[in-house]
Structure formats: C-alpha cells, structure tokens
Structure 1
Amino acid sequence: MSEIPDFTRNVSLRLSKVLDEIGVNERMVKKRRRLEIMYEALLTIGQKLSTHQDVNIYILGSKVEGTTTVGLNSDIDVLLTLTRFNVIQDWSEWELGKINLLMIQDDTVSPGYCLLQTLRQDAPFPEEKVYDQRWYRDRKGRVLLKNSIVNPTTDAERVRHGPEQSIDEKPGFYGNDIVLGFSCQQWPLQARQWMNQQSEGQWPTYDMKQYCKDTGCFVVGVGRKGSVNEELEWRISTSLAERFLMLSLNITQIRCYVLMKMIMKTFITTQCPDSISSFMCKTVLLHCIKSTINNAWKENTLLICLNYCLTILYNCVVNEYCPHFIIPENNLMARRFTPVTKQIILDRLSCIISSNGSALLEIECDQLGFRIQNTFLRLVEIVPEYLSCMISGQLVKDTAHTVNECVMVLLTKMNKSNPIRLLLKTLYKYLMKVTHHMNQVQQKLAYRAIAKCLSMHSGSALASINLQSERSVCRGSFDLMTLGLNIDVASGKLKLASIFYCTGDIERAEIILKNIEENYDLSVVEPICKCYDFQHCKRKWAFHKLCYEANDEYALLQSITAFCVRFLRCEINCCPKELQHEMFRSSQQDLPYRSYRDEWMDLAVVDSLPYLYFLQYKTYSHLRRNRDKQAAISNLAKCIVEEPNFGHKETALNLLGQCMEQENRMDAALKCYLLSLKIRGRNNAAKFHICRLVSSMLRQGLH
C-alpha cells in the first residue's frame, strides 16, 4: 500500500470527506461512545429499579462502537445478565448462594459453544434431579440446562431450580434486540490459544489481549443450527472483548467497516437476506487489521483498505470459512449458504471489487452515492456538520429521556407508601455508587444524575413534613435540595421556588424564578418528558448545534434540557393547591383505563416552562405587581400553544384555567378545561375543575 495511485488517493480522500459529513468522524464516534456507555449504566439502573433484581446490562454492537449512521439504522444490541447465575469452568469457582452452572466444552460440542451442567446450591456437587422439561439428563447422567430457558416467547412464567429456588424467566422487559445471558468470569478454554498468537502488525498488543481476557465471557441461549445438541448448546460470547477491540480502531478502520455494512445492505441482503451479517464483516475487518501494519490504514488509502477487506470476505465465501476472531475453531459461515446464494454473493462481490470504487455511487444509504458525486460535480451546497449536529442532539435527548425515565420508575414505586426513609436510603446507595465508579467516568455520571434527582425529592419530602406541622423548613431539607438543583436548567430550581412560595417567602421565590427565566433560552432549551410515549416534533436547531459542539454532554443536561417537575404525594405541602389536584386525577371510573405505565398519574407532574410562568403568576399576584402578573399569564398561554414537545399540556391547561378563574374570566377558564379534556379524555383533573366551575357559575346565577 506504499505506492498509492493518484486516482485511488483522490477517491479515498473524497470518500473520507463524505463519511465525515454523515457523522462518521472522530468527534462523533467519541460522542456516540460516551453517551452509549452512560446509557448502558442508566439502563442497568432502570432495570434494577423496575425488577428489584441484581442485573447487569451491556450495550453491544454498532451504536456503542460508533460504527453506524442514520441510514444504516442499526438496532441497539443489549445483553442482560442476571448476576445470581454463576457460570464456572472449574469446580473451585463454585459459590454458595448462587445458581452455579458448569461449562462443558468437549468433543460433543460445536466449537464456540458449550453445555451447562447444573450443580447443587448447597455444595459443589452435580445436581441429580431433573425438575421439569427445561432440564435434560444425558447419557453420562449429567443434568444439563436447555437453552430454551431464556426464550422470551415461552409460555411458562417461571422455572424451578430445585424445590426452593425460582428463577424469574422475564427479568423486566424484553425486546427484539435484548438477549438474556449468563456471565462467566474466566476466559473460555477455546479462546486461550488466541492469547499466544502473533500478528503481523502487532495488533492487538499483549496488553490489549490481557484486558480482553480479564473481561471474561458470556453464554447465551443459542445452539448451532443443525447440531445434534442444538437445544442443549449455549453460544460462548466474547462480546466485551470484541467491543474493546472495536473501540481501539482508528477512524479509517471504522469508516471501512461502515462502508462494508452499506455495501451489504445495498447489494447483498436485499436479495440474500440472513447471508452475510454485520458480525461477519466485523470479523473480516479485525482479521485484516491483524494481518497488516497500522500505518496502512489512512484516509488516503480508504479505497485500498475497503477492497482488501472485500477481497478477504470474498475468499471466506468461496471457502465457506470465516473463523471467529477470538475462537477460530468457530466457523461463522458453516452451513450458511445455499449454492445459489453463494454464487449470487460471489458475483456481486467480484463486481464491487473490480469496479474500483464506482459501485459505491449506487449506494442510497445516507445518500452516499449522491454525496460522492457531489464532491466532484458540486450539484448542491451541503451544510457542513448538519447530520452530525442532528445526531448529537438525538443522543443527548435520548440520554436525558433515560435519566428521566429511571427516576420516574423509582418515584412511582415510592409513591405507594411514605417514602422519605426509602428515598434517603436509596440516595445513600447511589452516592456510594458514584464513589465506587470513580475511575469509570460515564458510569459515575449516570449514578450522579440519579442521585441528584433523588436528593431533590428527598429534600422536598422532608420539607413537606416540616410544613405539615409548622411553617418553617429545616436546614437539612435545603441542603438535600441544593445537591439536586442543577440536574437540568429548571426543574430542581422550580421545586425550590415552589417550597419558598408555600412557606410564604414570596420574595425569595420571585428571585429564583427570575433566575430560571434568565437561563431558560427559549430558542435552545428542550423540554424532556418520558412519563409516557408520545410523538416528539422536530427539535430546535440551536439545541442540536450546541450538542455537537460540546465535549461534556452531562453539562448540557444542566443548561439546555428542562425535565418535567414532579411531586410525590408525600411532597404535597410543597406544591400550590392548584397543582395538588393532579395527584388525584383518576376517578374510580378512570382507573380501568390506565396501564401499568400510567403510575405517574398518581403524582403531580407538569412541564418546567408552564410551571415557571404559573409560579410567576402566583408570586406576582401576592406582590401586587399587576403588569408582571398579566405578562406571566400571557406567557403561560403562549407557551402552551407554541411548544410542541410538552408532555403534560393537559396539566398546563388546568393550571391556566385556574389562573383564569382567579382573574374572574370564567368562560376562558372553562375553555381551558375543555381543551385539556380534548388532549386527555380520561384520568384528567379537568373533570373535577369543570364540575366545580359549573357549580360555582350556577350558584352565582341563582344569586
């Protein structure tokens, strides 16, 4: 690759530029990785909160690697492991109190797979009983666990492991991309020879291999197709090691992989689905990197590198042999193709390789072909970094939504009882997690975000208890709230202002509200709500641009996102009486129309911006500043109409209606309540307000 023809160099550089435009650049790759790792930690927190099980969640594949684009529309690959399962390779690893499974790798098992022998829970001996159809006794008398135990489509809800231990089959949620597996702390026997292999380019290095070994492995419930032990085999996964290797690649290597996936999507999978997977392309890429020097992978050699990878892939298809990168005995292409499919793939790969890059012009994914042409012909003016900005905004929004959802899961569970002690206990737990993850930045940030939200609610709940017995709030309450003030631009401060308002300290409430309004940039800040699923409209361009330019996405949550404001019932004394009605929105007739995801309806929840204007209206009313009061009610009405991404417009309309009543504008108030009912016909406090208002109007009419 030392002598690069001018044409090849020119095409490679233009191709690199196009991939840069669609978000495959170093900045975006790093941004994706940071946020996906934080998302991984948040998913683990959310799963633990919702299921009360000790689980670990790992995000694998293209998104966390940063090897995807908008057009590729990659799924999120999630591996969920239950930590009470202990897969061992040596009897010395047996642990009391865990469900121990012995990994068996012998001549009867396909390479890259294993059997799991069930062991007793009270002592390191083999289990002798077969409790139901999920277990199987083989000819050697071993009780083996079938891989169907982790099948989310199974009808049975539980599986018995002995007379005392039950294993929840559904650990909380399943999806098309979620795989349930068990972790093994030790490196699999079949992969240990990889540690001693030498590579031409000295990649991966010894230290990298040692790190890979320390990640252990997983077993997932998938047997090799066509194997005589298909229902008993478990696939050995070295996913974390592979993820680490992918995170070590340079930008040209990543672009090469992205192009391979685009080529497969355009030319292969349309006619031969389920033939060549992204994982095969990744494996081929890793083998190619291993067999070349790192200096060969540059922007001006991208086309050469791509053709090299495609040539190796072509040879793999010819021989129907693609060795797993870490467990080479595992042939990823064994019995993968029919003769017809194989010939189609070979013909197409041959044409693509011989085209010397011109075949890329046919790729419609992310308008790649058009964009390549545009670099030569300048057909249209493309806004630099446009796609990167849009992707960055979506990533930050998704992170904020996940924080929001994790907190909501916790709060709805706590709302069913007096949660102050539980809040403080859980807060302490997550503060300890922050300390535990001191060297893992993204995990630490995830736990810090949850801890801040819990701190705010703990302080508010404590203040509510104070207000129930006296009009003052203890110092400890304010100390707790201070820890959670800056989780976003508004919600924490609004809760503090709300407490000051409820204690009668109107001046301090007004100062805080003024500060929030000054920092709430209407052209940038986006409302964040994940109480329920609803269609979000297009985000503000300034929001996306800032998300792209920032290197600290966690800080962005504090400055350009606004969470909805929530009050538990134990915080009822900290919110104005107008908002308290939202805690009791569901009548007996409404309850049957609620789903398990509607527990938020037992809280008072309102979007930050409407609540800001509502509190301003109330404080200015007390301060007798009529002009400011009228501006506040006008802003409240205006933001309800103009902001499309509020999650609780019906609540905002209910607050506006009560403001109208206080202005003695009864017809306008009734209109607000009717509009609120139009948005949410059931489980809406507007019904109560309408009955109350109509009754009041009738009484006034009689007089």
Structure 2
Amino acid sequence: MSVESNESLTFYKYLCQKIGSEEIVRIRRLAFTISDLGEELKLITSGSQGEGLNIKGSDIDVMMIHPYLKVFQSEQEVNKGRHIPFIMNNEESPPCFAKLCLLNHPNHIHVNLSQEIMSCLQKSHLGYVLSSELFKLCFLNSNCFSASYCSKIHGPCISDINETNDLAICLKCDKWILQARPWICRARTRWPAPELIYKIISCGVLFVPIGCKGSINENIEWRISFSVAEKHLIFSFSHTQLLCYALLKIVLKEIVDTNEDLKSLLCSYFLKTLMFWILEETDTYAWRPENIIQCFMACLQRLLYCVRYSTLSHYFIPDNNLFYLRFNTIIKEKLITILTNLYGQGINCFASSYTLHDYKSQSYESTESLISRNSRFMQQILPTFCLIRRHVRVDRVLRLLYNFLHSSRTALSRILFALQISEVSMYVPEVRQNPNSSENKNRYYIYKHDLIHLVIGFNSDAVSGLLKLASFFYVHKNYGASLTVITYALQKYTDEKIYTRLFKQEIRFNPIQKHVLNLMKKEKLHTMIKTLAIFPFTFELESPLIPQELHLDVTRTPTSFYPLSFAHFLNFLCSYHLHDISSCRQSLQRLKHDHWTLSSGGTVVFEPESLNTMIFWGLCYQLMGETYLARETFREAAKQDRYNASSAASRLSSLTC
C-alpha cells in the first residue's frame, strides 16, 4: 500500500474517533428518526444532528408540516379532504420560490380557516396569497410551542435565543413539482441509485416561509424546500463521503467563520449542495477510506472553483445559482485567498481547527484500546439522547408504542424505541388528569396509572427516574416508601455514574468510569445508559409530582435540579415529616457538600442546579425554625441569581416581611 493510502487510512480512523464511526452515526440517525415518529404532528429532524453529525456548532433543525394547509400545483390536483388548499404560483418569482394562492372554488369553502391563518392572508392580483412573513410572525406570537423555541425569527424558522434550535413550520406538496422533474432523468454516473430517486420523488416537496431576498414580492414568497429529499441523499452517503462532508463543515465553521467579515457568508447548505454535485459526477468506487485525503482535497478544490466563479447551482433546480450576487469583490478575494491557503496546506489546515487540531500532535493508533473505544462511544452517543430528552412530550407514548410494534425491525431500533418509551413514560404523570375529581375510584385509577408509568420510566437512566418515583410517593404522603426509593437511588449514585450535564463542558471520563465501561464492553446500549447515565432532573410546569415545598420554583418554566441535591432534600422532607431530626441534620450537611461541589469548590458551576441546591438548604433551615440562617441563605441565592430565575428573591421577601 502506498504512503498516501496509509496516511489516508490513518486519517480516516482518526476521523471515526473524533467525528463518529459508522455505528455512532447510525445510532444518532435512528434515535432522531424514532423521536420524530413519536410526535403527533409530522416532524422532520434535520440539520447536522439529524444527519448523524455532532461537531462543534452542530445545530438541530426541526421542520413541522402544517396539518391542515396543503399545497397543490394546480386546481385539478386538489381533492376533497380536511386540508385547506393553496395553489403554487411561480410567475414573477425566482427559481426555487413561489407564491401560495388560496383556492377560491365553490367546492372548497374555507369554513375551517382559523383567525390566525386569516391574518396571514394578503390580497394581491392573484387573489388571496399566504404571506410568509405574516405566517412566521403568527406562530412566533402564538403559544403553540415551547418557550425555548419562540424567541426570534431566524430565516424561515422560529429559533431559540442562541439560534441552535430551529423550528420551521412548513407546508407540503405531495407531488414532485414540475420545476424539479428534469432532475429525475438527468445524466449521472451511479449516484443516486434509481430506487433512491423513486423514493425521493414519492416524498413530494415542502414550502418554507421565506421569500427571495431583494424580491419585490419577498414577504409573500415561499421557498421550495427539498429537505426530505436531501436527508435521504445524505443517508445514502458512504461513511467516507459523510466524513468529507463533515470536514468541509469544520473548514467552514472552525476556520473560515473565525474571520468576522466572512462569518455566515457561506453556510452548510452550500456545502451539502456541493457534495451532491460532486457525488453525482464521480465514480462511487473512488470514495474509499484509503482515498479520503484525496477525496477531501477534491471537494475543497471544487468549493474554491465555485467561489472564484460565483457559481453553485441548486441541486434540484439548477436555474437557481446559490452564489448569484453572494460576494462583493473584496470579500470574494479574501475568501479565495483563505481557501487557496487551506488547499495548499492539505490536511495540515486542520491544525487551526477546534475539532481536529491534535491530528499531527498525537499518535493515533489504528487499534484503539477497548477502554478508550468504549469511552468514546458513550461520549459521542449521550449528547444525542440529551438533545432528544430536552424535547420530550408526554403525548408520545402511544405513538412510540405503536411504531415499536410495527416499525422496529432490528435489535438496535428496538433498543432505541425502548429507551424513548421509558423516557416519555417518566413524564406522563406530570400531566394532571381530572385534578378536581374527588371520587376515590378515580383517584385510585390515577394513582395506579402514574405509578405504572413511573416504574417504566426509571429504566431510562440510573437515578432520575427513581427520584421521580420517590417524589411521587412523597406527595402521596407515603414517606416510608419514598425513603426506601431514595436510599436505593443514593446507593446507585456512585463514582462511575456519568452525569450528562457535564457534556456541555466536554470533560473526559474519570478512570473509574473508563474502567466500568471496559467491564461493560459486552453489554447492550440501553443497559449501559440505564446503568451509568444520569440525565438532568427536571419537573414540568405545575407538575403534580413536585413537593409542595417547591411549587414556587416551577411556576414559570420547567426547572432542573441536581439529582443528588434533590435526593438529599427529599430525604430531609421525609425525615422531617417522620420527626427524625437527626436524619434531617445529616441531609442538611450533605446538601451543603452538594452546593460546594456545584460551585467554586467543585469542578463546574451549574445554574440553575447550584441555585436550587442553595434554596433547598434555605428551606431546610426554614422548616427547622432557624429563620435567620434561612434568610441569609435565600439572600445569598438571590444575590447569585442574576436573571431572577429562581424563587430565592420571593422566599427572602416572605421571610423579611
């Protein structure tokens, strides 16, 4: 084997360790796909995370298909149904954009048009058209979605404040549109395969609410989106091709974008389009691990060519040049200079990147130790499950169960379904069911219903599910059962446990965790997660599972608690009601140690966990009648609460009055 091939193989194995192996990518993709299946509304997870990548700057984009509004190419295609039909009109619109005209026909009387949709219609010479601008504003101002999404408009999406989670509410056309039909029979080598093309055209297209920048009709135009098709295409990439795509993303996000005047000039969508064209024009056989450096350099050279000549055709509708008027002369020359320098350096260009800076400085053995491999596997997988858990909805249980029974064809899919069913089950009791009912029979039914779901839920991780169960027993005044569960949870909270909140700080596993991962090398994924992982412990708004003493802390948003602190605080509460003062004081001392761990004495400062631990501490003093110490504790917590997000200030006020 040549020196170049050896270098490529070494680099390929290094990339599998840093970016993800084929197995890691498969698990990430399948986990998000299963998560989408569980939703009542039709959701499509895209972005880097949905594609199976998790590198610096990786985002998660979610597209929600509107359940009642549907797009048709002509009136003849409209069929009767519950949907409200819009006819696409691309006259006077650039390629890849269209206006959506409300069908005005006697057979389609729009009695179901909501006030919100009515407010998005705009009168034009085409009749009533759906304004993309008003459509986004309508959903931004509604209460339909989680507050974490509804912060700002980001392109066609409603985004969070950091623009890391994007939600695009889109409309679907079930047919493959006329403008993209030449793509079906376009001359190409072997990719994409005919069966993939057939699958793609059967998915139709989407329309996302954003117009062509600078167009006179920008506010009423919608962009034609091929996101579903593009996701299928990326899922068909070989691992070498996917890694080359990831390398282009790293070049963009970690090298090019560090230049302030070039930031956001290029985007991941351009790189995706570039990859599609390259793969369509090249022999699939060339994309092998032993050629990865050569393949990446060809991709970088093609990007340089596209920038130099300001041309990058849309993959499905080539009449749309994505680089048209994209660069001014000065910016273009600077970008060309940077890309030329990077190309000249070869893979040494990654020395200045965050993700791959250590390639030359470390000797990566092709046979990585089993301990290191298992550790890396968990480090790369757990962030995916953390992301999915952040978007848990309690109405997903039945749909997940249905798809588990009808769609899980592999052992891996069954494992991932089981994990997500456990996660969702843990949240089911947090939705009140007939809270005002006083019938004993109904209350008993709710009790059993909640208990069953919590028992299923504590299989989702090592500790958090158990603490929800302990809190359930506490609010039902079964203090003995609660203490039993707390004791069991604390016994499991040992040094090898992995608190996933730490992944935001990108720390490495400690030697004990690595050793245990090695001992579990033959265990299945779900066993490792439910044995070792501890996910952030959160109560939903007005959760019936939260102790009465903490109601003030879950009045505005769901609140996170440090699991160990919550266990010690709940232990205190149970002991307090059982008049066991000695145990109360022991729990108080443990809470002080927890606070030290979470603040300056420990390794990482977490909010709101550290603040909530201090509030636990103050509540303990208050219940024990030590008002002065409680007041001082709440005062210190309020001082540290920069955004007034906790209950510290209100608790201090109540003690001061």
- The bucket for the TM-score relative to the shorter chain is 0.7 to 0.9
Asked if 1:453 is matched to 2:427, the reply is yes
Residue 230 (structure 2) aligns with:
242
Residue 551 (structure 2) aligns with:
583
Alignment of 1:84-163 (within 5 A): 84-91=68-75, 92-105=77-90, 108-120=92-104, 123-124=107-108, 135-138=122-125, 142-150=127-135, 152=137
Q: C-alpha separation between the residues in 2 aligned to 1:464 and 1:607?
A: 34
Asked if 1:26 is matched to 2:22, the reply is yes
Residue 515 (structure 1) aligns with:
488
Q: C-alpha separation between the residues in 1 aligned to 2:325 and 2:446?
A: 71
CA contact (8 A) 2:425 2:453 kept: no
Give 1:655 deviation, angstroms: 4.8
Secondary structure in structure 1 of the residue aligned to 2:295: helix
Report how many aligned residue pairs link the two structures.
608
Asked if 1:258 is matched to 2:258, the reply is no
Q: What amino acid is the match of 2:321?
A: N
Q: C-alpha separation between the residues in 2 aligned to 1:631 and 1:75?
A: 44
Residue 190 (structure 1) aligns with:
179
Q: C-alpha separation between the residues in 2 aligned to 1:606 and 1:463?
A: 30
The C-alpha deviation readout for 1:564-613, integer Å capped at 9, x for no partner, is: 46498784xx77xxx5243357xxxxxxxxxxx95249x9x865433422
| 1:444–1:109 distance in 2 versus 1, CA, 3 Å | farther
| 1:319–1:501 distance in 2 versus 1, CA, 3 Å | closer
Q: What amino acid is the match of 1:580?
A: Q
The C-alpha deviation readout for 1:159-216, integer Å capped at 9, x for no partner, is: xxxxxxxxxx99995445444432222212222232233532x221122112212222
Asked if 1:372 is matched to 2:356, the reply is no
Q: What amino acid is the match of 1:610?
A: S
CA contact (8 A) 1:190 1:327 kept: yes
The C-alpha deviation readout for 1:484-524, integer Å capped at 9, x for no partner, is: 44444444434544555576755544432322222223552
Give 1:263 deviation, angstroms: 3.8
Q: What amino acid is the match of 2:608?
A: G
Secondary structure in structure 2 of the residue aligned to 1:196: coil
- Out of 273, 288, 301, the position equivalent to 2:291 is 301
Q: C-alpha separation between the residues in 1 aligned to 2:527 and 2:175?
A: 34
RMSD, aligned CA:
5.1
Secondary structure in structure 1 of the residue aligned to 2:237: coil
Alignment of 1:70-85 (within 5 A): 70=56, 73-85=57-69
Secondary structure in structure 2 of the residue aligned to 1:372: coil
Alignment of 1:40-439 (within 5 A): 56-67=42-53, 69-70=55-56, 73-91=57-75, 92-105=77-90, 108-120=92-104, 123-124=107-108, 135-138=122-125, 142-150=127-135, 152=137, 173-175=158-160, 176=163, 177-200=166-189, 202-225=190-213, 230=218, 232-264=220-252, 266=255, 270=259, 276-317=266-307, 320-338=310-328, 353=343, 355=344, 357-358=345-346, 360-361=348-349, 363-366=351-354, 368=356, 371-372=359-360, 374-375=362-363, 391-403=380-392, 406=393, 430-432=397-399, 434-436=401-403, 438-439=406-407
Residue 601 (structure 2) aligns with:
none
CA contact (8 A) 2:97 2:223 kept: yes
Structure 2 residue ranges without an equivalent (≥5): 112-117, 143-152, 366-370, 599-604
CA contact (8 A) 2:207 2:222 kept: yes
Give 1:432 deviation, angstroms: 4.4
Give 1:238 deviation, angstroms: 0.7
Larger mean CA deviation between 233-242 and 217-226 belongs to 217-226
Q: What amino acid is the match of 1:294?
A: T
Give 1:632 deviation, angstroms: 3.7
| 1:179–1:657 distance in 2 versus 1, CA, 3 Å | closer
The C-alpha deviation readout for 1:197-245, integer Å capped at 9, x for no partner, is: 3532x22112211221222211123444565655554321111110111
Alignment of 1:448-597 (within 5 A): 449-455=423-429, 478-479=451-452, 481-498=454-471, 500=473, 507-521=480-494, 523-526=496-499, 541=509, 552=525, 556=529, 560-564=533-537, 566=539, 571=544, 579-583=547-551
| 1:210–1:500 distance in 2 versus 1, CA, 3 Å | same
Secondary structure in structure 2 of the residue aligned to 1:541: coil
Q: C-alpha separation between the residues in 2 aligned to 1:567 and 1:144?
A: 39
Task: Please report the TM-score for the alignment, with normalisation by the length of structure 1.
Answer: 0.70
Q: C-alpha separation between the residues in 2 aligned to 1:523 and 1:376?
A: 26
Q: C-alpha separation between the residues in 1 aligned to 2:482 and 2:262?
A: 65
Q: C-alpha separation between the residues in 2 aligned to 1:689 and 1:468?
A: 39
Secondary structure in structure 2 of the residue aligned to 1:330: coil
Secondary structure in structure 2 of the residue aligned to 1:207: helix
Residue 567 (structure 2) aligns with:
612
Secondary structure in structure 1 of the residue aligned to 2:556: helix
Secondary structure in structure 2 of the residue aligned to 1:84: strand
Residue 602 (structure 2) aligns with:
none
Q: C-alpha separation between the residues in 2 aligned to 1:242 and 1:682?
A: 41
The C-alpha deviation readout for 1:597-654, integer Å capped at 9, x for no partner, is: 95249x9x86543342244345567888887665444323322332354735555555
Secondary structure in structure 1 of the residue aligned to 2:359: helix
Task: Please report the TM-score for the alignment, with normalisation by the length of structure 2.
Answer: 0.74
Q: C-alpha separation between the residues in 1 aligned to 2:429 and 2:44?
A: 27
CA contact (8 A) 1:150 1:181 kept: no
| 1:361–1:374 distance in 2 versus 1, CA, 3 Å | farther
Q: What amino acid is the match of 1:439?
A: S
Q: What amino acid is the match of 1:58?
A: I
Give 1:301 deviation, angstroms: 0.6
Larger mean CA deviation between 20-29 and 682-691 belongs to 682-691
Residue 556 (structure 2) aligns with:
599
Q: Which has the larger radius of gyration?
A: 1
Q: C-alpha separation between the residues in 2 aligned to 1:370 and 1:547?
A: 25
